[in-house]
Amino acid sequence: MSGEQTDRVREYWNQHIHDLEITKHPVGTPGFFADLDQYHFEKLHHLLRLVDFNGYRGRRVLDVGCGAGTDLIRFARGGAVVTGVDLAASAVALAKQNFAQQRLQADLREADGERLPFADASFDLVYAHGVVQYTADDRALVGECRRVLKPGGEAVFQVYNRMSWLSALSKLMKVPLEHEDAPVLRQYTAREFRDLLNGFHDVRIVEERFPVKSRLHGGWKGTLFNTFFVGTFNALPRPLVRRFGWHLLAFCKKAPAAQPGGK
């Protein structure tokens, strides 16, 4: 990523705290962080089923693009030794407040995911939810995540699905996607996403993020979405519509260390 583009991305995310508009509490207060946590896992309830937040006790977890620390705190509560990085200083400052209020420990730093300030093979899990699509060089970021991962370690990535219900609905209803004005925003097909991750030993991609009622959109479009579309879509047999999930989540494993004698 060029210095100029890095500056544009940093400036944008310094000014656009994710999901800020869903809370009426002052930024940085306990009520603010409680609202962010509630909304995040209400909208992304599948994460509690798919990600084992309590499964890394005593192991090292890195969150790339940690934001206010909403996901990272879950790992910390589960006993993980946690590190979070974000390109935006405002996000890191919020994450530090969040952890301090929860009386939890974390190494939180302002850093570029394309140039992680960590040694090779440092972490048992690298978690990069909602960051790959916003960085200029997605392959560089994925490569860095793989580099700092221990042999046999796990990585979780999330990107937006170009073939999703939300992408189609946005065009049909002429409603912009969230952060559509970001300096960089990509959508991927499952095949493109798998190609991006081809350096990993094993990759499992799951389509998720199906319609839930929105608190962010009002007017007749919001009413139509909440009262008709959400229920109708979710009444359809999931096997028929699964590939149209808005999020593509990848659960990846790095190749284990080579055994002596090449076995």
Q: pLDDT, tens digit, for every residue of 152-198?
A: 999 999 999 999 999 999 998 888 888 899 999 999 999 999 999 99
* pLDDT on residue 185: 95
Question: What three-state secondary structure class fits 251?
Answer: strand
Q: pLDDT, tens digit, for every residue of 106-154?
A: 999 999 999 999 999 999 999 999 999 999 899 999 999 999 999 999 9
Question: What three-state secondary structure class fits 211?
Answer: coil
Beta strands, E only, 49-148: 60-64, 81-86, 107-110, 123-129
Whole-model pTM: value is 0.93
Instruction: Compute the mean pLDDT over every residue in the chain, rounded to the nearest whole number.
Output: 92
Answer yes or no: is pLDDT of 2 > 70.
no
Positive or negative torsion for Cα 22, 24, 26, 30: negative
Query: What is the Cα 206 distance to its own chain's centre?
Result: 14
Instruction: Give the DSSP H or E segment for 9.
Output: helix 3-15
The residue with tokens 């993020």 is 209
Q: What is the mean pLDDT of residues 204-233?
A: 84
Tokens of 206: 């799951």
Task: For the chain, list the domains and their CATH numbers.
Answer: 3-256 (3.40.50.150)
Answer yes or no: is pLDDT of 26 > 70.
yes
Edge-to-edge strand ranges of the sheet holding 60-64: 107-110, 81-86, 60-64, 123-129, 149-160, 247-253, 202-208
Answer yes or no: is pLDDT of 20 > 90.
no
Tell me how far apart the alpha carbons of residues 69 and 84 are, in angstroms, rounded to a whole number: 8
Q: Specify whether the CB–CB gap between 250 and 204 falls below 8 A.
A: yes
The residue with tokens 């991962």 is 149
